[in-house]
Every structure is written in C-alpha cells, then in structure tokens.
A and B are shown apart, each in its own frame.
Chain A
C-alpha cells in the first residue's frame, strides 16, 4: 500500500512497461542519468540500463524522427519532450509520419510510439514552458491524445498508451504533478483510451474538464455543493478520440453544461465538445453551453500566468449564468 503522486504514477507505468516489454525504449533529453527535469524517469536508467533509457543529443526533431523510425521497425519508443513548447519542432514527424504511417502503407508499417511531455502553466516556468497544445494534436488524424489528472489515471492511461499499437500524445499536467497522492497498485491494469471518467455524480449541472483544470473544476463543484447544487464532474482525459456519449448522457440528465479548459478558447477542445452537444444534445439543454477557457492571447510570463487561467471564480460565474436560465 503506497500513496503516490501523478508524476510517480508516470514513473511507475514507465518502469512497468520497461519490465514487461523488451521493445520499450525511453528516450529524451536528460531522461537518463538525471532522471528527467521533473524526475519522471528517476531511477529508470540505473534499473534498466542505458540501452533502454537513452539520453539524446539536444535535438527535438531527431527525437521525434528517430522515434518514428524505431516504431516502424518494431520498437516501442516512449519519447519525452522536455516541455510542451519543445514539442513544436516535432510536429512535422508526428503529423506527417507518425499519424500517417499505417494508413500510408495500408497497414504494412505502423508507428506505436508515445510522445509524452509536461504541459500547462502554473509553476512559474520561463517562456514556452506553460502552453496547452492539446487541440493542435487532437486535430491530427491518426493520433490519440491523452491527458491524465490523477495518479491512478496517469498510471493506467500511460500503460494503455504504451501498449496501444498506434501513436499516442501523452500530455502531463505539470501543475498537478504533485498535487494529490493516492494509492496506486502496480498491477499492470490499464485504463481505456476512449472513455471519459466521471469523477463526481450530480443532477444539476455537468462540468467538463481535463488536465490541471480538474483541480479548479472540483473546487467549484465543492463550493456548489455547499449551496445545495450537485454538479457532475467529467474528466475527458482521452481528448482524441473524444467520448461524447458520456458527456451527452450526463447533460441529458442535468440539462446544463460548462466546459473548462486551460488552453485558448478559439478552436479548442471545449469548442468541439460544445459543438457535439449542439449536434446531439440540443434538446436536453435547458441553458446555453458555456466555455471557460484561457484567453486567446499569448500565455503571459509567470507573474501573470494565473490570471490567464480559468479561476474557481470565473468557473462559478459561468455556472451561475447557466443556472440562472430557467
């Protein structure tokens, strides 16, 4: 029985995967001796050796391109981009090759790789370290996008991502890397990559979020409970493919929905969810669907970064506006 943090859930899953599958290789900048700048790969090189946990030259395109090559030739690379901003040069290989390899070759070659990176703001990091680019990756055909928000989901979803026969982008909300501890049994059980997780049941309103914003969303739900309003909280977690069924079913019961995302609003995942509700849940809606998002601005440097992100108050104001409609 041990309680671990989200990032320890990541480490546990990586160790499990390295243990159970000799084709798994962890690679990235500073992932070896140093154990990763956030310690996600701490101890793995010492335990599994330098042929399984590889420090790379400082070259993100190389990390992504070689991962594609390795994956197409029978390995399971788990590549790390040190921060979300450094995944940008990798997009050529992710979008133009990883996501297309199976389709391009009519199934002759495939690309079972995982690209993981810390994302989101809130830790006073420098420029380019705090963005939430999930919508960019979710827009790419052939790619799965996953964001855990708890230690158990980090463990179970990462294991599933590694075992998946196709490429997965695994975004780790670094603001909540060490927020909560929970007991995670290292039993190798994976979680499904295509369903939402309902974290809290409620009949009055559905709150939909993912990643680090789950923290504020749950806090808002707590506050509502104090007022006698029961909010259902859904953690999307698997951004692509998106499980609209769970959300539509919930909104079918509550009639009201607020979607909370840290990323910019325009063309974000929240917009896709709202469109899904307009398409298949319109007649159960009792009020307009509201999105509470990051602004469509550059993520500010750290002194203002929390002002950018949806606060519990901004979430509650949106909820109140939705609840007011009768």
Chain B
C-alpha cells in the first residue's frame, strides 16, 4: 500500500506580502487596485481592533463577562463580511466581529451578549443572521440548512459559516461538507485556522497536511489562503460566493491566521504557548502590511490614521456607553426569561412566570 493521503494539491493563495508589497510572480486580482474599497475595509479592521481592545479592558475591570477576542483575525473577518450581500446569511462561531460589523451587527450587541444580556443577539440590522454559536461547529449545519432553504425557494442567496481549526475535527463540520456536496448547496464554509483550539495546537488535531482537504474528500472545491492578507481573503470569498450563488456548489476556504490573544479572557495562553511563536506571529499580523500597502499606494497616511483612530475610538466609546446604560438603567426584568420561550407561553410557564414576578430581584442569598 502506498500512502497517497497527501498527494493531491490544495492551492494556497497570498497576494499581499508581510512587507506590504504585492507578491511577485502571481496573478494579483483586480481588487488589489481598488484602493478606495481597501481603505474602507482597513478602517473597519482598525475599528474592530480598537473595539476588541476596549472589550478586553471592560472584562478586566469587571464590566463585561468572559469575552472571546478577535485579535489577529481582522483581515479574514472583515473580508467575510465584505464579500457577502445583505440578503446572504451568516452563521458565525463566536469571534467574527469584523464580519458582523460589516453586516450590521452593532458593537453594543457584542457587548450586551458577552455582558450577559440576551438582547445582544437581537440584531436590529442583521435580521436573519444567526447569533453567536458556542457549541463548536454546530453552526456549519445551520448554515447548510439555510443554504438548503435558499435553494429550495430558488432564492439567489448564499449561506456562510466559520469554524475553527479545532472545530474542523467535529462531525458537524464534516456532515456539513457532506450535505453541501449531496445537495449542491449555496454554502461557503470557512475554516479559520488560527493554529490553536484553546491550548491544543493545530498539529494535535490530526496529521493531515491541510484542513481544507477535508472538503476535497467530500467533493468540494477547497483552498487555503493567507488569512492575514485581506486581498487574498476577499478574493477567495468573492470567488466562492459567486460560484455558490451561481449554483456551482460549495467551497471550503481554510484561512491561515493566528490567534494573537488568549482563547477568551478566561484563558491564559502563556501557560501553553511559546513566546517566540507569538512574537513571530505578530510579524505576520494583518494590519501592518495593509497599512503599508495603502500608504505606499498613496491612499493612506499618518494623519488619516490618527484622525480615524480618534473617530473610531469615539464610536467604540459610544457603544460602551450604550451598553452600560442598557444593563444599568434598563435591565431585563425576571419575566424576560419566560417571554421568548415560545411564541405563545404555555400554561405551565404562565404559572411559573407569575411566581417569578413575586421575586423580581431574588437570587442567591437575596
């Protein structure tokens, strides 16, 4: 028997080098020249990182619960959002804020959710998107179901889901690949390979040379891209979404990035992750190279950066203020835990709701 498990080819795409120059010797997509668009997306990346830093600070000062940082994923996340149409459907895991902001999720929604308030999931401006999904990889099948709904209704809509490198080990992800293949679904599955599933490194998930090749086994077009290269991520997403929308089937994109933060604020990655690895990862992170590229192209400068950081920081602060105001001055009453259980509350819960109303502030020793 000859081992042929890794003899097929998974194409890897990178267009923007870590030095901020376009990669030589490859055909760079036209969007690399659309500086206005790239500038807009860069600004959202900056805002996402400012927000992220603020959210971590809120958690450290006791004003937010456990929070999953998106530090280092900004290019990949923003590209996902930017490639989708409003009517498409996004089923995230739990740290794709850049994609979600693009789609209309508010920064205050994120804070409310991680701040322990379900109203954070009531996206006012991203109405049909799924909310954050804690049970790993289950969101892939929800996206597959959404894609099947679109296909059956003959709507030109695409469903997009994200799973981690750890989540790609789960059956739900593999069953989503299989379903996409069986039903030719308008579905794009992204493996956000940030190298770490909490403390377990990519190398411990399996011995496959790539994670994308799991899609090949299921009969799907599957590629890898530099997940810190906005141009590569956006190009791959647009190609995949266009193919899915045209009924040409589903695509798996493995975005190679790095989780620069702890898994969540409840984690301490220094316990298991070598410092030099993290330091090297900072050299490849997505913001610096894009800023260099935009600056070299004349589309961005320090003054614009400074002005935008000030403006975006004010937006972040406004979101924080709104969040604090909601939880402090407009908290959900005890009855809120009953009111969305069913469209019409069954008699047993009507009874329990009335009982709970008699103890509106109770809990623990109170």
Contacts and interface: CB of A to CB of B under 8 A. Distances in A.
Given A104-B131, A110-B343, A165-B343, A65 B145 contact: yes
A2 interface: no
A103 interface: yes
Contact residue range for chain B? 35 or more
A102 B128 CA distance: 12
A75 B152 CA distance: 10
Contacts of B208: none
A96 interface: yes
Contacts of A194: 346-347
B89 A66 contact: no
B105 to A, nearest CB: 12
A66 B127 contact: no
B142 interface: yes
A92 B340 contact: no
A277 B119 CA distance: 38
Interface stretch (B1-9, B49-57, B58-66, B168-176): B168-176
Interface string B138-164: 101111111111101100000100000
B312 interface: no
A141 interface: yes
Contact of A106 (B121, B146, B153, B348): B121
A62 interface: yes
A70 B187 CA distance: 13
A142 B131 CA distance: 17
| Chain B interface main SS type | helix
Contacts, number: 136
Nearest to B348: A241
A93 B138 contact: yes
Interface centre among B142, B145, B147, B149 (most CB of A within 10 A): B145
Contacts of A66: 141-142, 144-145, 148, 179
Interface string B319-347: 00000000000000000010011111011
Given A72-B130, A97-B138, A109-B131, 19 more contacts: A61-B175, A62-B176, A65-B175, A66-B148, A69-B145, A69-B159, A72-B142, A97-B135, A103-B337, A105-B340, A107-B340, A108-B122, A108-B127, A109-B128, A142-B341, A142-B342, A165-B343, A241-B348, A242-B348
B46 interface: no
Contact of B146 (A70, A110, A141, A245): A70
A59 B175 contact: yes
